[in-house]
A and B are shown apart, each in its own frame.
Chain A
């Protein structure tokens, strides 16, 4: 099917926004376009992007997940503790990723079987899990230590493969998988269908509860992955890590053109959305803008994007 210019604009608006932003930033700050800085931007973006990928699944069903920041912190703390206690990298990764998934499943069950609104259910787990993390860490950072296991573990945050930082590589894997699942599998189709019309989906034989539980599980899993890379990068877990990350993730999803009502959007858009936020942060840092003004600038960009999106 041939696309008109207008349709093209609508479809690729997030991408065009990103390019525009990149051009402006590179004009203001020539350092922006250096290979080193671009890798930097990608690495800084990767945490938010990975969380936002999982968030995309949830939002596509018409839900929301506020608990991702807290899951990140708890998973980070548990993994740092396990590494410090020498329980082995493999077991640590397995436990941490399972835990994140399981926490998502719990939220999903509360939402589907318990009929609690997603906003409320995940608000509860956001608060609860932050508390658990603070109790578990006693409010202090947990260091991963300095032995061989800690070294291997830190590779997930600081390592390189063929010149690409490992977190960036993980991000790419997460996005390719998410894209494949959403675009080419039955599960992905069901995710869109539920967001479009839940009751009609049920009558089409879609097991709505199962799919919804699964999307929260995916969101929990991606939060755990982000928790691991963040902890590995810093070689320690902060109990307050990830606070506010849920909002950055939601912003990335929305900037990428996904509808909060569900049913419409792509994970590619989310990737672009995360990059826009990442570049903005990076540029404001390069320009030495104070963090107070950075928040204002970020808010303004999101506002403009959302306003543009309303005009179809």
Chain B
């Protein structure tokens, strides 16, 4: 590691209408180093990196590359100059193949401008293998899981052979195995002398893979320190400005009467799934990616057809054939994919939050009351500390974590009896996570039955009263909070897989 930074950003300023996203931020990046870029939701991490990669132009400030002034005109220019970025949100084209996506705009062509597909796919395969991915470059991206698509994004960034690789929450949707594969690639890149900027809200990852951490707070630079000088607690203190105790706040015991029951749910993705949820109980649902957890949720919610099975609420069997009847019956679902399935990005914070419950906002003349909408959405903005210029700001212009909070607000606004949360804290910072957990506990106290699907082991174990483990589309087992250990959950999670494989 040389002392001379590879790249320096000096006194960068950037304002959007109504917000100063970056205020005199300086950051230096060294070759052969993994730099963690940390900060709360809306602190300005993505914005800073978008400036470096030519997506946004800075209002003022200076960038030096190898000590010389450095200008990026647009993303293409940044690529050419050795800067690759994996964006927080997926940017792939579903109708194109994996290979076509990886080399989009940089396809190898022959003399007649015909794309050399075999060469392109062979090259793509190289990067996929390097990431330990077992998918063909010729499959369409639309058929991949979110995690696989994320890996394709990473492969794309690798293929650019960049000196500086920016990863904006790359493991957000990855399994542990995929994350491990990413780590080993990062170590190789480091050894090759490349620089990596790593943005994440999973603080353990900072200690797994990063050398130095830079912290932003409210658009200002706080500090940059060697990871060896930091602890999770000290990072939180730097990010939030105060310590956070009890990451998973305790809640009371659940009730005894059964509120919700699923009986023998079966369709093309799930097999004979049955479980109950009691009043005021949090049922955690664990399992690997593709184990059918989200599919069970969607089937209950009427977003996926059921071949057979029954959904029973308060002892009454329900007939649900559309999400609207699920909502009318008091079932609510927060999807794991906020961009595609959760939010209408072009609409405002207020219009998103009220959408599932608009009926409640209209008067006898069918007039939707804007005042009431503003009042309710402000409630959620305060309750979850959503960082926004106001209820009429477009969701598109919020930071990733704040978009996630809006998606959760949408799930609560219908005042459900049963709330299904699918990866609710994806992309949310530590402080806000705790606020969301407290919100969940409040709902629990009010007797709401909660189904919490999560891939974050500490989250399921910390929050649930009982844990259902799914594997290969069916229920592999159930554990009480007291008996649950990471090992037991993992054993159940891979149970059906090994049985099927054997």
Contact = CB atoms under 8 A, between A and B. Distances in A.
A108 to B, nearest CB: 17
B344 A203 contact: no
Given A189-B351, A207-B322, A196 B366 contact: no
Nearest to A185: B366
Contact of B368 (A186, A200, A202): A186
Contact of A196 (B342, B347, B390): B347
Interface string A187-217: 0011011001101111111110000000000
B368 A184 contact: yes
Interface stretch (B109-117, B240-248, B265-273, B353-361): B353-361
Interface in A265-279: none
Contact of B390 (A1, A185, A193, A206): A1
Chain B CB within 10 A, most for which of A184, A200, A264: A200
Contact of B335 (A7, A184, A192, A203): A203
Nearest to A201: B344
Contacts of A165: none
A213 to B, nearest CB: 15
A190 B390 CA distance: 22
A186 B343 CA distance: 17
A14 interface: no
A1 B18 CA distance: 9
Contact of B355 (A1, A206, A264): A206
Q: How large is the interface on A (under 10, 10 to 19, 20 to 34, 35 or more residues)?
A: 20 to 34
B324 A200 contact: no
A205 B356 contact: yes
Chain A CB within 10 A, most for which of B323, B333, B344: B344
Nearest to B340: A199
A202 B303 contact: yes
Given A4-B17, A189-B351, A203 B342 contact: yes
Contact of B343 (A190, A197, A207): A197
Contact of B333 (A7, A186, A203): A203
Contacts of B356: 204-205
B303 A200 contact: no
A185 B9 CA distance: 49
Contact of A189 (B322, B326, B368, B410): B368
B401 to A, nearest CB: 18
A306 B294 CA distance: 42
B341 interface: yes
Nearest to B298: A203
B346 interface: yes
B361 to A, nearest CB: 8
B367 interface: yes
Nearest to B324: A205
A186 to B, nearest CB: 5
A197 B347 CA distance: 10
Contacts of B327: 205
B428 to A, nearest CB: 19
Given A185-B362, A185-B366, A185-B367, A203 B347 contact: no
Given A4-B17, A197-B345, A189 B390 contact: no
Interface in B354-385: 355-356, 358-359, 362, 366-368
B184 interface: no
B127 interface: no
Contacts of A263: 344, 346-347
B346 A206 contact: no
A196 B346 contact: yes
A263 to B, nearest CB: 5
Chain B CB within 10 A, most for which of A186, A203, A206: A203
A28 B220 CA distance: 57
A207 B325 CA distance: 10
A200 B341 contact: yes
Interface in B292-325: 301, 303, 322-324
A252 to B, nearest CB: 22
Contacts of B345: 196-197
A197 B335 CA distance: 14
Given A196-B347, A197-B346, A203-B342, 5 more contacts: A185-B366, A193-B344, A197-B345, A203-B341, A263-B346
Interface of B: 17-18, 301, 303, 322-324, 326-328, 333, 335, 340-347, 351, 355-356, 358-359, 362, 366-368, 389-390, 392, 410, 414
29 contacts: A1-B18, A1-B390, A7-B17, A185-B362, A185-B366, A186-B358, A186-B359, A189-B351, A189-B355, A190-B358, A192-B347, A193-B347, A196-B344, A196-B346, A197-B344, A199-B341, A200-B341, A200-B344, A203-B301, A203-B303, A203-B323, A203-B335, A203-B341, A205-B327, A205-B328, A205-B356, A205-B414, A263-B346, A263-B347
